């Protein structure tokens, strides 16, 4: 199983490294909410919110009561996210997902 996740993680890192213009620091230390979409995972959400897919544990820590298994996300469920990076993407999340998946 681990071998299959490495290419996906590499794809996320490649997307995160693509130079996209950050917005002004309106995201610093404010809570946000992300509604889980079909096919989402915490690595992808963390890559979008924190520009680092390895930060998925931050999201899990904030949602641990409602999300006992970080590998089983339910579409439609809102997740709390604390945005502390000071950066956000100029592109919407749906477009980021498509790029991460090579579409």
Domains and CATH numbers, the chain: 2-100 (3.10.350.10)
- pLDDT grade for 14, boundaries at 50, 70 and 90: low
- pLDDT grade for 25, boundaries at 50, 70 and 90: very low
Mean pLDDT along residues 51-75: 94
**Is residue 12 within 8 Å of residue 47, measured between CB atoms?**
yes
Q: Tell me the CA distances in angstroms from 70 to 3, 21, 27, one per residue in order.
A: 19, 30, 24
Cβ burial of 15 (10 Å; 0-12, 13-18, 19+) is buried
Mean pLDDT along residues 2-15: 54
């Amino acid at each position: 199983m681990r071998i299959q996740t490495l290419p996906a993680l590499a794809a996320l890192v490649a997307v995160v490294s693509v130079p996209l213009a950050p917005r002004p620091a309106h995201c610093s230390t404010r809570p946000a909410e992300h509604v889980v979409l079909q096919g989402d995972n915490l690595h992808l959400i963390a890559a979008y919110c924190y520009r680092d897919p390895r930060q998925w544990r931050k999201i899990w820590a904030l949602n641990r009561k409602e999300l006992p298994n970080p590998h089983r996300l339910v579409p439609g469920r809102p997740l709390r996210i604390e945005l502390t990076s000071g950066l956000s993407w100029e592109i919407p999340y749906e477009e980021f997902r498509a790029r991460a998946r090579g579409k």
